[in-house]
Structure 1
């Protein structure tokens, strides 16, 4: 409802082109503030609004993330879209529509409505990539994203329709007992059914082997598209898997352990792939796949500690990866290249920008006091207690995350003076505000991390 009011309020000012952009920013900011106040209120608890809407701590946290990142998207696109008069009205409407879809996705309790919103989030994202991307390959990137996601979601639709038909209801709370009846059809039937349920979320996450759409989409998307992809749309996969575990009674199976093992080794391999990237935007995209592998194994441990770590990882990665893509765009605007071998020596010309690179690269390697460290401290013990064979890939992922974060920082900031740097370029105030608003929640939400434990 809050997002619908925000959209209607913004559309009232559609005739005033100057006010529309800034009113949207303020509206998203107030939405974030109300979400925080509601989450910290003593009256907050899990409850159902009606047969279609419900919320809990995980939903409110992701709603807060959606409001916050949408506001950051507008701030990051101030120069490339608003001041350049690059169809800023349409761009702003696309972000507000995407925000409305995401908020409904995180709050609906109808499984069919959840599926519809889950798929509808692709359309505004595709329009942002195709409309404001600046390379011809964006058409191929958009095709990859649509085909991967839609093809993987068709089995999910079949499972949800079958469950709702058997339960005579599409409410998540009422479909639980229906999925328990799958044991009557034999072991292989319910294993196949659960894999069909989870496959759409594994692609959206994405898991290694079905991740090829993500680096392409990130490289071709504008800064706002990369921010929303990394910060929010990837979290739909983790959110969907936790909801499936909660309401559809998935049991621990050997087949699922194979998926966990593939996710862990895939996260380690993508961490190695980061060292072969010369485009720092592509490097950040591959690092997101490694972090999502940790989220995957945290969910599949099927423990409250692992789920709490996965939720913390979703929030922390949302802020950190969005800020890294914002930094990549600022660096590109200054040096006119995304090549690590060309854009060197930023420390000599713009030390303040190098400071922000340092803060977020350190956060990306899970250094204290960031939320990333809290998430990894919660996920690591649960995964190690699940199986001793997971220790090696976990250690490798933790070590390689620190190494490629340092590689990213030194590649951009150290070295000789850059040859293509825009002369007399300073860091704009709006860029500093955008980076500061990313850094504050990821370091200070750790003071209220007990809210995640209360949820479970």
Structure 2
């Protein structure tokens, strides 16, 4: 709760003056440090803080990720928002308000309040896209995002209201009593499964309901892309794991359909990556592939699979956020995101090419990243669930390495175009943001027990 206090203090700092931006950055840094103190607490498991708040190690890890990525958003947006004076005070208020909503979402014990916070996160995200987006199509991208997610969330709202009426409580810990109270047929529970998971699968998103994500990423500013990839997608994964835990969906074999759909959809998404000519669109589609692998681990219904899903969510948050930050820096210099035009960065900025290499390697789950730990945990758990999963898993792993190498070679090799803006030395905040993305994505592998403590 101390991190919430400092976040609130940062939110209500004076909106005028040059120091307010840096005060918010330092306040977020302090909140991050305070949140890390709870990662290694002696007692884990569910801790009922009050009638509203509930915390366990999974929510604590995701809250720390939220605070960390918000700090990275401020640092990465300094050139495009603060330096050019693009309404930076209002921008910082929206970012901190979104951060507050996400922290409360990960801490809710009431399913109804969690749903309200789950939907409220769309409002500041939409305002970030509309206010600081790049292209005129940002209005269409915002409409896609709102229509997809709100329409898919309505069945979940009806389900939560019905459950609350049946149990006279919306507390998540009481929802597991629903199985003892109701005697539905297997088809009824299958329908219940899809009703509950629809909102979260669209938020992730799963293949076949993913069309809103590339549009939103392409039109969003760098901070919007970072929070979409690193945090908002994890809100969907958090909802999937919570639904399994409290609605006891693990006791029904109908989820094998969702397992196969996520695997084959992830393989198709990896193939689609090779057809992308927009840099941010390629990174967005790679996010869908990684979330498909995370879903496969969640649907494998094993402890290793769930631990791998949480690890992959954490790893993807760092990796994808850094890739979008790199893509934004390349766009600021070349004024284009086309892979056919943006070439030869290795000759112009070799130091930045090193960071491209490090994060492309991280994207393909090479050691010593926690991406590798997540895939090592997910692969055997999914294969033991069904032998038919071997081929899509192998294809996803191979194609992930392939499109990561494709992304690096297309942007760094080749002759540089003549219309590039003159390249100055890379600014210190750029290196700072990239370094702070890379360090936890590689060194958290030294504490793998974090992914098992919440079972």
- After TM superposition, the runs of 4+ consecutive aligned structure 1 residues lying more than 6 A away are none
Instruction: Give the deviation of 1:49 after TM superposition.
Output: 0.4
Match of 2:85 in 1: 85
Summarize deviations over 1:306-350 as a string: whole Å, max 9, x none: 100000000000000000000000111122211111111110110
Aligned partners of 1:207 and 1:292 also within 8 Å: yes
Question: What are the superposed Cα offsets for residues 2-45 of structure 1, whole Å, 9 maximum, x if unpaired?
Answer: 45423432244325421221111111111111111121233555
Shift of 1:103: 0.2
Contact 1:310 1:379 (C-alpha < 8 Å) held by counterparts: yes
* Alignment partners' CA distance in 2, 1:378 and 1:68: 25
1:9 aligns with 2:9: yes
Counterpart in 2 of 1:378? 377
Tell me the residue number matched to 1:147: 147
**Within the alignment, does 1:328 sit opposite 2:322 as a pair?**
no
Does the CA contact (< 8 Å) of 2:333 and 2:423 recur in 1?
no
Question: Is this contact kept in 1: 2:3–2:35, CA < 8 A?
Answer: no
2:428 equivalent in structure 1 = 429
Deviations along 1:21-77, one digit per CA (max 9) or x if unpaired, are 111111111111111112123355541101211111110110011000001111111
What are the equivalent positions in structure 2 for 1:84-163 lying under 5 Å apart? 84-163=84-163
What secondary structure sits across from 2:214 in the alignment?
A: helix
1:255 deviates by 3.2
Matched with 1:308 is 307
Q: Which whole-Å CA distance do the structure 1 matches of 2:140 and 2:336 have between them? A: 21
**Structure 2: gaps (5+ residues):** none
Does structure 1 residue 408 correspond to structure 2 residue 407?
Answer: yes
Measured after TM superposition, the shift of residue 190 of structure 1 is 1.7
Distance change in 2, residues 1:110/1:281 (3 Å) = same
Residue 268 of structure 1: CA displacement?
0.5
- What is the DSSP-based 3-state SS (H/G/I as helix, E as strand, rest coil) of the residue aligned with 1:119? helix
Task: Give 1:395's aligned residue.
Answer: 394
Distance, in Å, in 1 between the alignment partners of 2:79 and 2:269 is: 33
Residue aligning to 1:280: 279
> 1:180–1:249: 8 Å Cα contact kept in structure 2?
no
State the alpha-carbon separation in 2 of the partners of residues 44 and 382 from structure 1: 24
Counterpart of 1:170 in 2: which secondary structure? coil
Partner in structure 2 of residue 28 of structure 1 = 28
- Work out whether residues 175 and 247 of structure 1, in 8 Å CA contact, stay in contact via their aligned partners in 2: yes
Q: Deviations over 1:233-278 (max 9, x none)?
A: 0001110011011111113545321111111111101100100111
Q: Is the Cα–Cα contact under 8 Å of residues 3 and 103 in structure 1 kept in the other structure?
A: no
Q: Calculate the aligned-residue CA RMSD, in Å.
A: 1.3
Structure 1 runs not aligned, ≥5 long: none
Structure 1 match to 2:417:
418
SS at structure 2 position matched to 1:71: helix
Does the CA contact (< 8 Å) of 1:13 and 1:19 recur in 2? no
Kindly indicate whether the alpha-carbon contact (under 8 Å) linking 2:304 and 2:381 is maintained by their aligned counterparts in 1.
Answer: yes
The number of residues matched between the two structures is 455
Counterpart residue number, 2:350:
351
User: Normalization by structure 2: what TM-score?
Assistant: 0.98
Q: Say which SS state the counterpart of residue 33 (structure 1) adopts.
A: helix
Quick check: 2:63–2:106 contact (8 Å CA) kept in 1?
yes
Return closer, same or farther for 1:129/1:179 CA change in 2, 3 Å cut-off.
farther
- Matches of 1:134 and 1:363, distance apart in 2: 27
**Are the aligned partners of 2:7 and 2:31 in contact in 1 as well (CA < 8 Å)?**
no
CA separation of 1:107/1:15 partners in 2, compared to 1, >3 Å: closer, same or farther? closer
TM-score (normalised: structure 1)? 0.97
- Match in the other structure for 1:438: 437
